[in-house]
């Protein structure tokens, strides 16, 4: 496979003003008639004579140029390229292709999912539908006519507004859609099926009425209310916070069961993985409700950040993804608990994105090369990209940031632009120089801050020295220092915030200050500091960096109870727990520090504190995070150390856990408020801890909760606790009962699969293999694969990393198997193996061998090839 470089970007030779599509859909295939209105791009003057269109797995039936059918020799079908050597400056090109959606297992382009036709075109799926200059800087207006059997496919959808419909011979019918907004091909969508529609409406800030529709299979009619509410909240929020109004008269969402990722922001016709849009309290958990709210909002927000203003090329992917993730996380924070939201974002960054940034696939937020773009829908592009936008927000302040976003949307509406255009708009609106800041887009790797301090009692001066360094990453060494907003506060001996005054400033300033780091080393002098303070560093996780400062355990306890910054209260607790787990790792006789027990007891019994934060603070750092923090990870040791700390905590706190559990009585009516979510989370966490002990009273509580639960959070919480408990009989009974109750609901069956596949107690490889044989498992459905294989390799670390290497071999087999049918999913599943160098020798050897066995497969897809070769390099 060949590598594509940003430096080789050239404007397109030809532009397409209009696309006229006609789809004839049949059971054995689909014929696509595409008529393009093309003109030579004035900006590319003097370049190519010939027209080149991308294609992928297409059967070409005919080509017409300005109405005349071209003969063999007048065009060349090279499979991935259709070349027409001699074309005039403006012309109309008609191409007819034949495809086989029912045989499309890659789920890119046009395919079938439980009987309906649907599409996925980002990034390069449109070329699987017809020959086209399939790149985001070619923006056209689309008119789409869909023809299909009327009884099997009563609903026919595409982008924009439906302008015409009617019946055809042979029981067929058609609908024509017209999208007035020019768009890149990756935003094209089509759906045809026997679907039910749920309607609502929204009145925009200028008083326009928008038709809102969610299309589902009939069995899901009860599951749309939450998505609809979330959509309306998102529409209102985008008007209020960004001044962005919806532009078409209709906004549609379709749920499909077979989907490679979460959802897709096609213009006016978002297509969702069922698991990211459908929910009701009885069958979906709080986590699903929250995920749905944020993904519905995310896709909706793309209408401006992505669709109206799109990406010039795929190196600019974070232009739309980083910005939109930032927008959806602001939205979620406004809808729920800002601190918890911040903790969840930071956890994802610190556990998974930092790991990616330190591994063989590390790349900048704006990469400079790729082989397969699908591999670049990464945590770096999305989450680090969002953190970078957040830093701009922090540096500019909310008002200037809003002026910058207004300028960006206004200046580039209808254009395909770059991350640099985004930063420029922010600079122009604010007058700030973001020159050095741009390095965040260009340099990969997580900056590391090392902080030292010194207190001069006589002078009442507190001096902080902050050094930054950025580790080498593939292809990048000797990096320049970056511009880092470093928020901090200082606590006095009582735990109060000290007003901060830097040397040379008059009068006391704010208690949280954002220091701007631009050099390799800075010394900050705070004056008028009456006693030795405890520093609270990187408040609210103001930058995606690691911070090293030698807090002792008493200082961490102090921060846990006094820091005015909720994020840092949580972080202090995490640091304390990490420290304690590390201390007992490999030392079976070491007792755990009673301070951790006391801190947890205080939290468990603190009814005044924000319970959402308490629930978060009680969770021990995950195994994945502990692995990320270690130099040479020994998974088994980490797992057992964490497990032992958990058991000792649970033993010491048994009565407090019981009392806390009893206090969390289920609410009358299920609601997804931060308070209720926190209460259910505490309830299920305390139950899990108690069951881990093998406590019989807790077992009975779990059985009772499992039987009487009126919502899935509580039912599956009880199930999970039983599955991870030593009570074998109860475990298998509960699993059977649950399956009998829910086997008709694929989304619940997914949960049932993942609870088992991720269980450190019962989810060994043999159990996982049995799940693959289960009647409900389906190799063609990405959700099922994710919930069994993905859950095992990604969450069940103790079993996946069995020292005999069996977990690795199993994953390699799975990847090889999926490489032929769905390379995108196969490449994603490879991720757990890519970081083999991070692990101790007993693990890394097996991981490397597994990667090599994948590498040696014949006819490896470009997707998996890139991941495997880069990982082994
Ligand atoms: N833009 C899509 C992701 C498409 C992934 C293609 N392989 C979903 C999103 O980020 O909103
Ligand atoms: Zn997105």
Average pLDDT rounded to a whole number, residues 498-515: 95
Q: How far is the CA of 186 from the centre of ligand 1 (A)?
A: 10
Is residue 862 within 8 A of residue 370, CB to CB? The reply is no
Does residue 860 lie in a domain region?
no
Q: What is the DSSP string of 34-78?
A: EEEEEEE-GGGTTS-SSEEEE-SS-EEEEEEETTEEPPTTSSEE-
- From 184, 265, 310, 381, give the residue whose CB has the most ligand 1 atoms within 8 Å, as the site to mutate: 265
pLDDT of 572 > 80? The answer is yes
pLDDT of 48 > 90? The answer is no
Does residue 364 lie in a domain region?
yes
Bridge pairing between strands 29-40 and 250-256? unpaired
- What is the distance between the alpha carbons of residues 341 and 333, in angstroms, rounded to a whole number? 6
Which protein residue's CA is at the shortest distance from atom 6 of ligand 1? 122
- What is the distance between the alpha carbons of residues 571 and 810, in angstroms, rounded to a whole number? 36
Which protein residue's CA is at the shortest distance from atom 2 of ligand 1? 264
The domain of 248 spans 195-303
CATH code at position 234: 3.30.2010.30
Q: Does 323 lie in the same domain as 215?
A: no
Catalytic residues: 299
- Using the CB atoms, write b or e for 44-54: b if 16+ within 10 Å: eeeebeebbbb
Bridge pairing between strands 172-184 and 161-168? antiparallel
pLDDT of 143 > 90? The answer is yes
Q: Does 263 lie in the same domain as 343?
A: no
The pLDDT confidence band at residue 722, using thresholds 50, 70 and 90, is very high
Q: How far is the CA of 209 from the centre of ligand 1 (A)?
A: 28
Which protein residue's CA is at the shortest distance from atom 4 of ligand 1? 122
- From 136, 259, 261, 782, give the residue whose CB has the most ligand 1 atoms within 8 Å, as the site to mutate: 261
Q: How far is the CA of 71 from the centre of ligand 1 (A)?
A: 39
The closest alpha carbon to 620, from 590, 597, 642, belongs to: 642
ipTM over 0.95: yes
Q: How far is the CA of 298 from the centre of ligand 2 (A)?
A: 6
CATH code at position 479: 2.60.40.1840
* Residues β-bridged to residue 156: 192
Q: Does 212 lie in the same domain as 98?
A: no
pLDDT digits (tens, 9 = 90+) for 540-561: 999 999 999 999 999 999 999 9
Residues 6 or more apart whose CB falls under 8 angstroms from that of 683 comprise 661, 664, 666, 705, 714, 717
pLDDT digits (tens, 9 = 90+) for 855-866: 999 999 999 999
Which protein residue's CA is at the shortest distance from atom 8 of ligand 1? 264
Atom of ligand 1 at shortest range from CA of 263: 8
Q: Does 218 lie in the same domain as 70?
A: no
Domains: count for the chain: 4
Q: How far is the CA of 122 from the centre of ligand 1 (A)?
A: 6
Q: What is the largest distance, in Å, between two alpha-carbon atoms of the chain?
A: 95
The model carries a pTM of: 0.99
Q: Choose one of 505, 530, 548: the last residue of a domain.
A: 548
- From 111, 270, 277, 321, give the residue whose CB has the most ligand 1 atoms within 8 Å, as the site to mutate: 321
Average pLDDT rounded to a whole number, residues 239-264: 98
Which protein residue's CA is at the shortest distance from atom 1 of ligand 1? 264
Residues, CB-to-ion distance under 5 Å, ligand 2: 321, 324
Hunting for tokens 């090293």 — which residue is that?
548
pLDDT digits (tens, 9 = 90+) for 172-219: 999 999 999 999 999 999 999 999 999 999 999 999 999 999 999 999
- From 106, 107, 121, 263, give the residue whose CB has the most ligand 1 atoms within 8 Å, as the site to mutate: 263
Does residue 172 lie in a domain region?
yes
CATH code at position 407: 1.10.390.10
Q: Choose one of 137, 171, 194: the last residue of a domain.
A: 194
Does residue 436 lie in a domain region?
yes
Phi/psi at 675 (5° precision)? -65, -50
Q: Does 190 lie in the same domain as 206?
A: no
CA atoms within 13 A on the CB side of 150: 11
pLDDT of 508 > 90? The answer is no
- What is the distance between the alpha carbons of residues 726 and 724, in angstroms, rounded to a whole number? 7
Does residue 38 lie in a domain region?
yes
pLDDT of 45 > 80? The answer is no
pLDDT digits (tens, 9 = 90+) for 325-381: 999 999 999 999 999 999 999 999 999 999 999 999 999 999 999 999 999 999 999
Does residue 339 lie in a domain region?
yes
For residue 551, the tally of other CB atoms under 10 A from its CB is 18
pLDDT of 230 > 80? The answer is yes
Q: Which residues line ligand 1 (CB under 6 A)?
A: 122-123, 261, 263-265, 298-299, 302, 321, 374, 377
Atom of ligand 1 at shortest range from CA of 373: 7
Which protein residue's CA is at the shortest distance from atom 9 of ligand 1? 264
- What order do you get walking across the sheet with 139-149 strand by strand? 68-69, 59-65, 90-99, 29-40, 14-26, 139-149, 172-184, 161-168
Atom of ligand 1 at shortest range from CA of 321: 10
pLDDT digits (tens, 9 = 90+) for 737-749: 999 999 999 999 9
Could you give the 3-state DSSP secondary structure of residue 314?
helix
Q: Does 222 lie in the same domain as 324?
A: no
Q: Does 348 lie in the same domain as 488?
A: no
The closest alpha carbon to 686, from 717, 723, 645, belongs to: 717
Q: Does 214 lie in the same domain as 145?
A: no
pLDDT digits (tens, 9 = 90+) for 670-716: 999 999 999 999 999 999 999 999 999 999 999 999 999 999 999 99
Could you give the 3-state DSSP secondary structure of residue 86?
coil
Does residue 419 lie in a domain region?
yes
- Using the CB atoms, write b or e for 439-458: b if 16+ within 10 Å: bbbbbbbbbebebebeeeee
Atom of ligand 1 at shortest range from CA of 122: 6
pLDDT, residue 623, reads: 98
Q: Does 201 lie in the same domain as 139?
A: no
Residues 6 or more apart whose CB falls under 8 angstroms from that of 198 comprise 213, 214, 215, 216, 221, 224, 228
Q: Does 34 lie in the same domain as 121?
A: yes
> Residues 746, 752, 758, CA angle at the centre, nearest 5°?
130
Does residue 429 lie in a domain region?
yes
């Amino acid at each position: 496979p060949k590598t594509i470089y940003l430096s080789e970007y050239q404007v397109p030779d030809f532009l397409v003003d209009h696309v006229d599509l006609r789809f004839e859909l049949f059971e054995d295939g689909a014929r696509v008639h595409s008529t393009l209105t093309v003109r030579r791009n004035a900006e590319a003057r003097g370049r190519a004579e010939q027209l080149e269109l991308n294609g992928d797995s297409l059967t070409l039936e005919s080509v017409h140029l300005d109405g005349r059918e071209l003969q063999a020799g007048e065009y060349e079908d090279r499979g991935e390229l259709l070349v027409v050597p001699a074309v005039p400056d403006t012309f109309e090109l008609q191409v007819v292709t034949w495809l086989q959606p029912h045989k499309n297992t890659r789920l890119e382009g046009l395919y079938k999912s439980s009987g309906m036709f649907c599409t996925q075109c980002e990034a390069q799926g449109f070329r699987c539908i017809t020959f086209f200059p399939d790149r985001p800087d070619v923006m056209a207006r689309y008119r789409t006519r869909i023809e299909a059997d009327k009884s099997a496919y009563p609903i026919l959808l595409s982008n924009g507004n439906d302008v015409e419909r009617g019946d055809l011979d042979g029981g067929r019918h058609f609908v024509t859609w017209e999208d007035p907004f020019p768009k890149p091909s990756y935003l094209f969508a089509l759906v045809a099926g026997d679907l039910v529609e749920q309607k609502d409406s929204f009145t925009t800030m200028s008083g326009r009425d928008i038709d809102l529709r969610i299309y589902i299979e009939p069995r899901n009619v009860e599951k749309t209310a939450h998505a609809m509410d979330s959509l309306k909240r998102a529409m209102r929020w985008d008007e209020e916070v960004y001044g962005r109004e919806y532009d078409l008269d209709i906004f549609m969402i379709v749920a499909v069961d077979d989907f490679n990722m979460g959802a897709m922001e096609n213009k006016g016709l978002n297509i969702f993985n069922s698991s990211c849009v459908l929910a009701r309290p009885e069958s979906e958990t709080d986590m699903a409700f929250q995920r749905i709210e944020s993904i519905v909002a995310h896709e909706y927000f793309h209408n401006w950040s992505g669709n109206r203003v799109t990406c010039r090329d795929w190196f600019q992917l974070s232009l739309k993804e980083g910005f939109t993730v930032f927008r959806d996380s602001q939205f979620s924070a406004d809808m729920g608990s800002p601190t918890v939201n911040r903790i969840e974002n930071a956890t994802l960054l610190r556990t998974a994105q930092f790991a990616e940034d330190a591994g063989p696939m590390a790349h900048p937020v704006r990469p400079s090369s790729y082989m397969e773009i699908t591999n670049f829908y990464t945590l770096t592009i999305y989450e680090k990209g969002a953190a970078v936008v957040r830093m701009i927000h922090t540096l500019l302040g909310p008002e200037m940031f809003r002026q910058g976003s207004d300028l960006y949307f206004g200046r580039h509406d209808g254009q395909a632009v770059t991350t640099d255009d985004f930063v420029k708009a922010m600079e122009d609106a604010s007058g700030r120089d973001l020159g050095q800041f741009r390095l965040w887009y260009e340099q990969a790797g997580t900056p590391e801050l090392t902080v030292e301090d010194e207190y001069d009692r006589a002078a009442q001066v507190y001096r902080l020295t902050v050094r930054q360094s950025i580790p080498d990453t593939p292809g990048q060494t000797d990096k320049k220092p970056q511009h880092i907003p470093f928020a901090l506060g200082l606590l006095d001996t009582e735990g109060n915030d000290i007003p901060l005054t830097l040397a040379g400033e008059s009068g006391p300033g704010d208690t949280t200050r954002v220091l701007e780091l631009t050099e390799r080393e800075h010394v900050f002098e705070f004056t008028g500091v009456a006693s030795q303070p405890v520093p609270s560093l990187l408040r609210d996780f103001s930058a995606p960096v690691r911070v090293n400062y030698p807090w002792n355990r008493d200082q961490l306890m102090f921060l846990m109870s006094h820091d005015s910054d909720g994020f840092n209260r949580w972080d202090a607790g995490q640091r304390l727990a990490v420290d304690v787990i590390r201390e007992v790792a490999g030392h079976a006789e070491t007792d755990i520090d009673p301070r951790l027990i006391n801190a947890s007891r205080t939290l468990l019994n603190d009814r005044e504190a924000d319970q959402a934060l308490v629930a978060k603070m009680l969770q021990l750092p995950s195994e994945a995070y502990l692995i990320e923090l270690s130099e040479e990870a020994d998974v088994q040791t980490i797992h057992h150390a964490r497990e032992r700390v958990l058991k000792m905590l649970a033993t010491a706190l048994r009565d407090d856990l019981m009392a806390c559990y009893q206090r969390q009585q289920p609410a009358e009516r299920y609601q997804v408020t931060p308070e209720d979510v926190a209460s259910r989370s505490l309830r299920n966490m305390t139950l899990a801890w108690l069951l881990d002990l093998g406590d019989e009273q807790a077992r009975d509580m779990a059985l009772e909760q499992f039987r009487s639960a009126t919502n899935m959070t509580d039912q599956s919480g009880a199930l999970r606790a039983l599955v991870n408990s030593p009570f074998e009989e109860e475990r298998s009974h509960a699993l059977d009962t649950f399956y009998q109750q829910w086997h008709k609901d694929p989304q619940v069956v997914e949960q049932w699969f993942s609870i088992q596949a991720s269980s450190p107690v019962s989810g060994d490889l043999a159990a996982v293999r049995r799940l693959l044989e289960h009647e409900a498992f389906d190799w063609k459905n990405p959700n099922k694969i994710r919930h069994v294989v993905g859950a095992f390799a990604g969450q069940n670390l103790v079993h996946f990393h069995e020292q005999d290497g069996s977990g690795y071999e199993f994953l390699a087999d799975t990847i090889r198997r999926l490489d032929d049918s769905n390379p995108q999913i196969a490449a994603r599943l490879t991720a757990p193996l890519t970081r083999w160098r991070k692990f101790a020798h007993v693990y890394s050897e097996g991981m490397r061998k597994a990667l090599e066995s994948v590498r040696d497969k014949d006819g490896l897809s470009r997707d998996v090839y890139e991941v495997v070769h880069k990982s082994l390099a």
